[in-house]
C-alpha cells in the first residue's frame, strides 16, 4: 500500500509538472465538445435543387412553388438545359435535378398520368436518400391535392387512405445536437485515457527510467496500478468538466441517474486504460505506441456507432464493434442521458465492459516484464 | 545537393530499420480502408422494430409482410402495451414501434380512412426520421396497390435516376473520405513526431551544428515519408478498385499528382507542429487528440458542410482533407478533369506554401 502511495505521488507530480500537457488534456476536449456538435448535423435541409421546367404551365409552376416552399430545398438554378444543370451537380453546387417534361399539364389531365424526372447526385447516400424521399413526398402531397381538386369534393372520401400518426419519443424536437453531445464526450474521454496511458510506460522505456523502477522491489501490479490510478482520476475530471460544459452550452441534463453514469465511466476507464497499458507493454517507442493507438482509436470512433449506425453494418463489422469497448460507452451515455435508462437497462453493457477491464489489465500485468 | 542526398539516405535508413513501425505504417491504412470501406454506411437498415398488431386482419398482416420483406427492418417479438414499448426503447434494443388499431381492415374499407400509429425512438433523430420515412413509403405503397385496382386518375409518377452511384453504395462516399482522413493523420503524425524526437533525444543539436542548412535537414526528414505515403496511396487505390469495386473515372495521373500535393501539404503541417512543440507527447496530443475528430467532421464526408453554422463553415476551410476529399471524389467517382478541381488544387498549394513559410520563420537554429 505504501509503495503504491509513493508511486502515485511520483506520477501525479510528473503530470502536474508538465503544464502544457495538462492544459491540452483539459482545454482540447472542452473546445471540441463546444464546437464539434454544431458541425455534426445530419438534419438534411438546404438541399440544392436545379429545376428545368419545360412545360411552364400553371400546374408545373404550382408544383415548383410547393417544392420550394417546403423548406427543405434551395432553388439554385431554374430553367436551363439538363446539360447545364448537370454541370452544377458535377461541381457540387446542386444535389438534385427536377425536370418537368413538355406537356406535363396536358398529359396529367388528359392522359390520367404523367412522369416527372428526378436526377440525384448519389455519391453521398444520406443526401441522396433523404433529398429524394422529401422530393417524392412533396410531389405526392401535391398529387393528392390535384386529385382532390380535379375529382371534385364529392369524391374526397372515395379512395381508402391510411393515415400515419407518428410520434417521436425522448427527443420530440429532433434535435441532433442532443444526440451527438454525449457521444462526442464519450470519445473525448476515451482518447484522453487511451493516448495518455499508451504513451506512459513506453516513454519510461524510451528514456530509460523504467530500468530504475525495474531494479526496485516494486511488484508488477504495483507498478501498473501506480500508472492506472492517476489517469483514472484525470479521465473522471475530463468527464466531469465535459458534463458541465454540455449542461452550460447545450442545456443537456441527464434524464437518468448521474451516479450510474459515473459508475459506468469508472469501469470503462479501467478498461480503456488497461488497453493503453497493454499496448505500451508491446511497443518499444512512443512512435509505435502512437501509431497503434491511432489505428485502434479510428476504429473505436468510426465503428462505435457515434456517426453511423452499427445495425446497418455487415455481420463481421458488427462483430468488431462488439469487441469495441467504446461502442458500449456511447450506447450507455445516450441511453442514460437521453432516455433515462436505469441500471437494469445498462447491466449487459456494464458486464461486458467489466470483463474488458479485467482481461486487459490482467494481460497488461502479465505482459509487463521487469527484465528487458 | 550531394549532401542533401546523403541526408535523405540516412533518414531512409532510419525509417527502414524500424521494421515494426514500417509494418504499422503500411498495414494500418490498408486495414482501415478495408474495414471502413465495407462497414461504414449512411444507410439505416436492419433496424429492429416491434409491432403491436391489435387487428390481426388481412390489411395489417399484408403490411407487416411488406415491412418484413424490406431490408430496413427486422421485426422483434410483439410487445403488449405502451410501457413495454418504453422498456424496449430504454434497453436500446428497438428503434421503432408500429401499432395497428383493432378492426384496421374494416375501418379502412368501410370508412375509407384508417390510422396506424408509429412511435420512433427519436433520441437518434436521423434514424427516427429515416425509419418513419421508410414506413410511410411502405404503407403508401400498399395504399397505392389498393388504389390501382380502383384506377385512381391524375397520377404523377416520379422517375428517379441515381447519378454516379446507381446502386447507392456507401463506399463511393466513404472511401474518398477515409482516404483523405487516413493520409492526413498518418502524414502529419509521422513528420511531427520524427522531428520532435530528435529534439527530445538531443540528436537535433548534432544535426544543427553540421555545415548543412537547417531547412534542408528538415526537408530531408520529410522525404522518406513522402515516399512511404505514396506507396500508401497506391495500395489504397488498388484496394479501392479491385476489392471495393470503386471506379477511377478520371485521369489516374491527375489523381496521383493531386495525392502527392496533398501529402506534401500534410507533411508541411507536420513540420510546423514539430517546430512549435518540444516533446513527442505534446506533438502527438496536438496531431491526434486535436485533429482526429475535427478532421473527421470537417472533411465533409460524414456531415454536409453546408449544413453547418457559417463560422464552422469558415473553420472547415482550413482543414486540408476537406479539399482533398472534394478532389478525390471528383476525379475518382465523377470523372471530372483538372478544370473542375483547379480551385481546390490552388488552395492546397497555398496552404503548403504558407505552412512552409511560417515553419521556416519559426525554426530556431539554436536550441534552448
Nearest by CB to B163, from A38, A89, A340: name it.
Answer: A89
- C-alpha distances (whole Å) from B351 to each of B97, B266, B287 are 51, 9, 17
Identify which of A118, A184, A298 has the shortest CB distance to residue B158.
Answer: A118
Contact (Cβ atoms closer than 8 angstroms) between residue B334 and residue A90: yes
A121-136 burial, b at 16+ Cβ within 10 Å, e below that, comes to bbbbbbbbbbbbbbbb
**Per-residue pLDDT, B149:** 61
Chain A residues inside the 8 Å CB shell of B143: 160-162
CB B169 within 8 A of CB B37: no
- Indicate left, alpha or beta for A130 from its phi (over 0: left) and psi (-120 to 50: alpha): alpha
Buried b / exposed e across A232-270, counting CB within 10 Å, b at 16+? bebbbebbebbbebbeebbebebebeeebbeebbebbbb
Three-state SS letters, chain A: CHHHHHHHHHHHHHHHHCHHHHHHHHHHHHHHHHHHHHHCCCCCCCEEEEEEECCCCHHHHHHHHHHHCCCCEEEEEECCCHHHHHHHHHCCCCCEEEEECCCHHHHHHHCCEEEEEEEEECCCHHHHHHHHHHHHHHHHHHHHHHHHHHHCHHHCCCCCEEEEEEEEECCCCCCHHHHHHHHHHHHHHHHHHHHHHHHHHHHHHHHCHHHHHHCCCCCHHHHHHHHHHHHHHHHHHHHHHHHHHHHHHHCCCCCCCHHHHHHHHHHHHHHHHHHHHHHHHHCCCHHHHHHHHHHHHHHHHHCCCCCCCCCCCCHHHHHHHHCCHHHHHHHHHHHHHHHCCCHHHHHHHHHHHHHHHHHHHHHHHHHCCCCC
Whether B122 sits inside 8 A of A169 (CB atoms) is yes
Q: Among all residues of chain B, which has the CA nearest to that of A164?
A: B116
Task: Work out the pLDDT band at B148, boundaries 50, 70, 90.
Answer: low
Q: What is the pLDDT of residue B15?
A: 80
Looking at residue A154, its pLDDT comes to: 55
pLDDT at residue B368 tops 60: no
B360 pLDDT higher than 90: no
DSSP class of residue B333? I
Which chain B residue lies closest to A24 (C-alpha atoms)? B285
B66 contact A CB<8A: no
Distance CA A58, CA A77 (A): 19
Chain B nearest C-alpha distance from A234 (Å) = 15
Our CA-based measurement puts residue B144 at a distance from the nearest CA of chain A, in whole angstroms, of 9
Task: Extract the C-alpha cell encoding B124.
Answer: 437518434
- Is B44 touching A (CB cutoff 8 A)? yes
Q: Which residues contact A323 (CB under 8 A, 6 or more apart)?
A: none
Q: Looking at beta carbons, which residues of chain B come within 8 Å of A342?
A: 90
User: What's the angle, vertex CA A233, arms to CA A361 and CA A220, rounded to 5?
Assistant: 35
Enumerate helices (H) and strands (E) in chain B, giving the number of each.
15, 5
Q: Decide: A346 and A264 in contact? Cβ < 8 Å.
A: yes
User: pLDDT band at B351, cuts 50/70/90?
Assistant: very high
CB contact under 8 A, A162 and B143: yes
**What's the pLDDT at A153?**
58
For B54, phi then psi, to 5°, come to: -90, -10
Chain B positions touching A191 (Cβ under 8 A) are 288-289, 292
**What's residue A142's pLDDT?**
85
State the pLDDT confidence band at B367, using cuts at 50, 70 and 90.
low
- Interface-testing mutation among B19, B42, B277, with chain A (most A C-beta atoms within 10 A): B42
Probe site for chain B from A128, A312, A328 (most B CB atoms < 10 A):
A312
Selecting from A21, A203, A311 the residue whose C-beta is nearest the C-beta of B46 gives A311
Q: Please report residues of B whose CB lies closer than 8 A to that of A42.
A: 125-126, 303
B41 touches chain A (CB under 8 A): yes
Overall residue count recorded for chain B in this entry: 368
Nearest CA in chain B to A321: B39
Query: Are the Cβ atoms of B39 and A314 closer than 8 angstroms?
Result: yes
Q: Say if residue B144's pLDDT is above 70.
A: yes
Nearest chain B Cα distance for residue A193, angstroms: 11
Q: Which of B258, B257, B286 is nearest to B272 (CA)?
A: B286
Question: In B, residues 211-270, which contact A (CB 8 Å cutoff)?
Answer: none
- Scanning the structure block, which residue is given the C-alpha cell 425536370? A99
- Name the packing angle between helices A176-207 and A325-334 (round to 10°): 150
For chain B, the C-alpha Rg in angstroms (whole number) is 28
CA distances from A102 to A59, A60, A348 (A): 12, 10, 61
* Span of A336-345, B200-209, B339-348 with lowest mean pLDDT: B200-209
**Per-residue model confidence as pLDDT tens digits over B63-79:** 999 999 988 899 987 77
Mean predicted confidence (pLDDT) in B220-231: 89
Residue of B nearest to A339 (CA): B90
Q: What is the mean pLDDT of residues B171-198?
A: 88
Within an 8 Å CB–CB cutoff, is residue B18 touching chain A? yes
Q: B214 CA to chain A: closest CA distance, Å?
A: 23
* B122 to A174: CB separation less than 8 angstroms, yes or no: yes
The secondary structure of B217-261 as a DSSP string is HHHHHHHHHHHHHHHHHHHHHHHHHHTS-----S-HHHHHHHHHH
10-residue mean pLDDT profile of chain A (372 residues): values are 80 81 86 89 79 88 87 84 86 87 83 83 76 82 79 61 83 84 93 88 80 77 85 93 94 92 96 93 86 89 88 89 93 91 91 95 84 54
Residue of B nearest to A349 (CA): B91
CA pair distance B62, B298, nearest whole angstrom: 44
DSSP B287: I
pTM for this prediction: 0.88
Question: Nearest Cβ partner of A147 from B125, B153, B304?
Answer: B153
Q: What is the mean pLDDT of chain B?
A: 86
8 A C-beta contact, residue B41 and residue A313: yes
Q: Is A96 left (phi over 0), alpha (psi -120 to 50) or beta?
A: beta
Residue of B nearest to A289 (CA): B21
Amino acid at each position: 500500500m505504501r509503495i503504491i502511495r509513493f508511486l502515485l505521488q511520483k506520477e501525479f507530480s510528473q503530470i502536474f509538472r508538465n503544464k502544457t500537457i495538462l492544459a491540452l488534456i483539459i482545454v482540447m476536449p472542452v473546445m471540441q465538445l463546444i464546437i464539434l456538435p454544431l458541425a455534426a448535423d445530419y438534419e438534411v435541409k438546404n438541399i440544392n435543387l436545379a429545376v428545368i421546367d419545360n412545360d411552364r404551365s400553371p400546374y408545373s409552376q404550382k408544383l415548383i412553388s410547393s417544392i420550394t416552399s417546403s423548406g427543405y430545398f434551395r432553388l439554385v438554378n431554374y430553367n436551363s438545359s439538363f446539360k447545364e444543370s448537370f454541370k452544377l451537380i458535377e461541381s457540387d453546387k446542386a444535389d438534385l435535378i427536377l425536370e418537368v417534361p413538355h406537356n406535363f399539364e396536358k398529359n396529367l389531365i388528359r392522359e390520367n398520368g404523367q412522369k416527372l424526372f428526378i436526377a440525384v447526385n448519389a455519391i453521398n447516400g444520406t443526401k441522396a436518400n433523404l433529398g429524394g424521399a422529401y422530393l417524392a413526398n412533396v410531389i405526392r402531397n401535391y398529387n393528392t391535392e390535384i386529385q382532390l381538386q380535379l375529382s371534385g369534393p364529392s369524391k374526397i372520401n372515395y379512395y381508402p387512405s391510411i393515415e400515419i400518426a407518428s410520434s417521436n419519443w425522448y427527443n420530440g424536437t429532433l434535435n441532433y445536437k442532443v444526440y451527438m453531445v454525449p457521444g462526442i464526450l464519450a470519445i473525448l474521454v476515451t482518447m484522453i485515457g487511451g493516448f495518455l496511458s499508451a504513451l506512459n510506460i513506453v516513454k519510461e522505456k524510451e528514456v530509460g527510467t523504467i530500468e530504475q523502477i525495474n531494479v526496485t522491489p516494486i511488484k508488477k501490479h504495483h507498478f501498473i496500478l501506480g500508472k492506472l490510478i492517476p489517469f483514472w482520476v484525470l479521465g473522471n475530471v475530463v468527464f466531469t468538466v465535459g458534463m458541465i460544459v454540455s449542461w452550460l452550452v447545450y442545456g443537456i441534463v441527464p434524464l437518468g441517474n448521474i451516479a450510474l453514469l459515473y459508475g459506468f465511466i469508472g469501469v470503462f476507464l479501467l478498461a480503456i486504460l488497461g488497453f493503453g497499458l497493454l499496448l505500451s507493454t508491446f511497443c518499444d517507442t512512443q512512435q509505435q505506441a502512437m501509431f497503434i493507438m491511432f489505428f485502434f482509436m479510428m476504429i473505436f470512433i468510426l465503428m462505435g456507432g457515434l456517426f453511423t449506425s452499427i445495425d446497418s453494418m455487415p455481420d463481421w463489422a458488427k462483430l468488431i464493434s462488439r469487441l469495441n469497448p467504446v461502442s458500449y460507452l456511447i450506447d450507455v451515455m445516450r441511453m442514460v442521458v437521453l432516455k433515462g435508462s436505469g441500471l437494469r437497462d445498462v447491466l449487459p453493457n456494464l458486464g461486458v465492459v467489466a470483463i474488458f477491464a479485467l482481461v486487459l489489465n490482467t494481460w497488461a500485468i502479465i505482459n509487463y516484464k521487469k527484465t528487458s | 545537393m550531394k549532401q542533401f542526398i546523403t541526408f535523405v539516405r540516412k533518414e531512409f535508413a532510419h525509417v527502414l530499420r524500424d521494421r515494426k513501425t514500417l509494418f504499422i505504417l503500411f498495414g494500418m491504412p490498408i486495414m482501415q480502408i478495408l474495414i471502413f470501406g465495407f462497414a461504414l454506411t449512411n444507410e439505416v437498415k436492419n433496424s429492429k422494430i416491434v409491432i403491436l398488431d391489435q387487428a390481426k386482419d388481412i390489411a395489417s398482416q399484408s403490411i407487416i409482410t411488406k415491412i418484413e420483406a424490406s431490408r430496413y427492418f427486422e421485426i422483434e417479438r410483439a410487445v403488449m402495451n405502451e410501457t413495454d414499448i418504453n422498456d424496449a426503447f430504454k434497453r436500446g434494443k428497438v428503434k421503432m414501434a408500429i401499432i395497428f388499431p383493432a378492426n384496421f381492415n374494416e375501418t379502412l374499407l368501410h370508412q375509407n380512412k384508417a390510422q396506424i400509429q408509429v412511435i420512433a425512438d427519436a433520441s437518434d433523430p436521423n434514424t427516427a426520421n429515416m425509419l418513419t420515412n421508410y414506413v410511410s413509403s411502405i404503407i403508401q405503397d400498399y395504399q397505392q396497390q389498393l388504389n390501382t385496382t380502383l384506377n385512381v386518375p391524375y397520377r404523377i409518377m416520379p422517375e428517379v435516376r441515381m447519378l454516379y452511384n446507381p446502386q447507392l453504395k456507401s463506399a463511393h462516399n466513404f472511401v474518398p473520405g477515409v482516404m483523405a482522413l487516413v493520409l492526413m493523420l498518418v502524414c502529419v503524425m509521422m513528420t511531427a513526431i520524427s522531428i520532435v524526437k530528435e529534439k527530445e533525444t538531443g540528436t537535433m543539436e548534432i544535426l544543427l551544428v553540421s555545415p548543412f542548412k537547417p531547412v534542408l535537414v528538415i526537408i530531408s526528414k520529410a522525404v522518406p515519408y513522402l515516399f512511404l505515403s505514396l506507396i500508401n496511396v497506391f495500395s489504397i487505390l488498388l484496394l479501392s478498385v479491385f476489392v471495393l469495386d470503386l471506379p477511377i473515372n478520371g485521369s489516374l495521373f491527375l489523381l496521383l499528382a493531386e495525392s502527392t500535393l496533398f501529402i506534401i501539404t500534410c507533411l508541411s503541417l507536420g513540420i510546423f507542429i514539430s517546430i512549435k512543440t518540444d516533446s513527442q507527447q505534446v506533438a502527438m496530443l496536438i496531431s491526434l487528440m486535436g485533429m482526429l475528430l475535427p478532421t473527421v467532421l470537417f472533411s465533409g464526408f460524414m456531415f454536409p458542410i453546408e449544413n453547418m453554422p457559417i463560422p464552422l463553415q469558415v473553420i472547415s476551410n482550413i482543414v486540408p482533407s476537406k479539399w482533398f476529399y472534394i478532389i478525390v471524389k471528383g476525379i475518382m467517382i465523377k470523372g471530372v478533369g483538372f478544370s473542375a478541381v483547379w480551385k481546390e488544387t490552388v488552395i492546397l498549394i497555398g496552404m503548403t506554401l504558407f505552412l512552409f513559410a511560417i515553419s521556416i520563420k519559426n525554426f530556431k537554429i539554436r536550441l534552448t
